[in-house]
Structure 1
């Protein structure tokens, strides 16, 4: 089942359900698929980017990585089971991959972030088979030689799960463009999760994550990079949700 939030389809699944669906598909490996993990910023980008919207429409799973999306779903009387944080999804999938013998590849992040995240996860899960990590150089998406090199690395490694930390919408554009060629069963866009897992960027305390204040913690940690996203983006997101709620309320009154 799914809901419509500001024109974006969100799957009504729990973290455990998402993991089961992803792992089962990775094991079967029939048709390459990709998973997207939207937050409020994604919802804003999707309002005006038709290609981004097409990518979302064809995703295997669209899971809400953001407490504001969960709050919005409750306001609209179509509640999501809860937030599926991209970093939690990444860590849990690596745990299950170690248990089931699935190979993983980490692409993106800042220099050394994916490599350090892989080392830390392998310390936690000694059976985790990381078949590759790679941090593409800035501007790689416009360099045909670099794009071909990345594809070659991944195809040679032949992972079951490909974690892509390139930031939105770049990671979604890239996954959509190459996922069939790569033939990786499941590719997953996880934003800055490598930095968070490796400790390169501090993660908010659990209470802030659960209370919807993780954005504030991240803003304080990286104000220059994130101020536009949160200071300008959050009110815009609230306005979009309010507009949908108003339209929904009026439709009920006139029906």
Structure 2
């Protein structure tokens, strides 16, 4: 599939630890997607936070994946806070789940078609039920839970064909970082529709985990709320990447 996106307007970016973070806010992002969705087929958007930004700083291959995306939006509050300090005054946090909500609310009137790739069969089933309840008329054209084992080339071709046959506008990818970014980069210009890696977004809409209270989101503490829900998996990750991020920013890297 040929690349269909032609830049219609410049996407402002703020380079943080070598990663090009989109210096945008939710209103700008939604308007951009609504205006250009038909020309974005085959592209991908990364939802970036402190963890993925530090990984991008440490790993050149992963940094290239982030920087070769259509854009890496500031899911992590510290990214937008730093951006505003550096002069991008309209930059604000744009989380994956919030972006999903904004697009879902527009979908019935816009006729958007949605495909969901990732997570488990159980989570996808619960998410479908909740989405159709909360967003009547949402056009879910397909869902696929990939195996945890490596996928052979012929199997991947079949999956791509299945996705493309549904003609989605949005392909929401919930594999977690860095797997979802690598998957999207590999399938760039091969899959019809705009791919957006939303990490835990599937779990939120399946109600497997809860979003932080609004006051915690406002003060960039959603990471702490997630840590309290899943300390065993997240403690070492947050301890290392958050401290390193603050240290590197203070050094002016």
Closer, same or farther: CA 95–225 of 1 in aligned 2, 3 Å = same
Task: Please say if residues 109 and 165 of structure 1, whose CA atoms lie closer than 8 Å, have aligned partners that are also in contact.
Answer: yes
Aligned residue number for residue 251 of structure 1: none
Aligned residue number for residue 36 of structure 1: 46
Structure 2: state its 5+ residue gaps: 1-11
**Residue 10 (1) aligns with residue 26 (2):** no
Distance 1:219 1:31 in 2: 35
**Residue 67 (1) aligns with residue 77 (2):** yes
Closer, same or farther: CA 221–15 of 1 in aligned 2, 3 Å = same
- Picking from 207, 210, 216, the partner of 1:202 is 210
Q: Greater share of helix residues, 1 or 2? A: 1
TM-score, reference length from structure 1: 0.88
Task: Please say if residues 219 and 226 of structure 1, whose CA atoms lie closer than 8 Å, have aligned partners that are also in contact.
Answer: yes
Structure 1: state its 5+ residue gaps: 248-255
Taking only aligned residues, the RMSD between alpha carbons, in angstroms, comes to: 1.8
Distance 1:103 1:78 in 2: 33
Closer, same or farther: CA 45–146 of 1 in aligned 2, 3 Å = same
Aligned residue number for residue 201 of structure 2: 193
Aligned residue number for residue 127 of structure 1: 137
- Picking from 174, 179, 183, the partner of 2:183 is 174
Aligned residue number for residue 30 of structure 2: 19
Aligned residue number for residue 111 of structure 2: 101
TM-score, reference length from structure 2: 0.89
Distance 2:83 2:40 in 1: 33
Task: Please say if residues 167 and 191 of structure 1, whose CA atoms lie closer than 8 Å, have aligned partners that are also in contact.
Answer: yes
Task: Please say if residues 49 and 76 of structure 2, whose CA atoms lie closer than 8 Å, have aligned partners that are also in contact.
Answer: yes
Aligned residue number for residue 115 of structure 1: 125
Distance 1:30 1:205 in 2: 33
